[in-house]
Structure formats: C-alpha cells, structure tokens
Amino acid sequence: MENSHCSALLAKHAGLDARLAAENRRPAPNDMLIATLKKQKLKIKEALVQHNLVTSSR
C-alpha cells in the first residue's frame, strides 16, 4: 500500500512537471497557473519527504 501511494505521488509530481514545462514554453505563460502548479508540486514533494521519514523510522 505504501509503495503504491509513493508511486502515485511520483506520477503526479512528474505530470505537474510536464505541465509546468509546457506552460513555460508558451509564448505568454500564465503566471498564476505556473504558481499554482509549483505549489502543488511542493505539496507532493513534502508528502514524499514525510512518507520517507515515517517509513525510515520503523
């Protein structure tokens, strides 16, 4: 269960990364969308770090 959760988070993170890259390639990138995507990526990264802390302390 934990491994599949991590995999899902990593997939979401990669998807957000791709969306960010695509938005940055646009002639007029949407700054609000970029900020939102970056915040989402950060939340996922924090969840992954927290998950690793929890599993490594077992």
Sketch the domain layout of the chain as residue ranges.
1-8+31-58
By three-state DSSP, how is residue 23 classified?
helix
For 8-33, the pLDDT digits (tens) are: 999 999 999 999 999 999 999 999 99
Contact between 45 and 13 (Cβ < 8 Å) = yes
Q: pTM score, two decimals?
A: 0.85
Q: Would you say how long the chain is, in residues?
A: 58
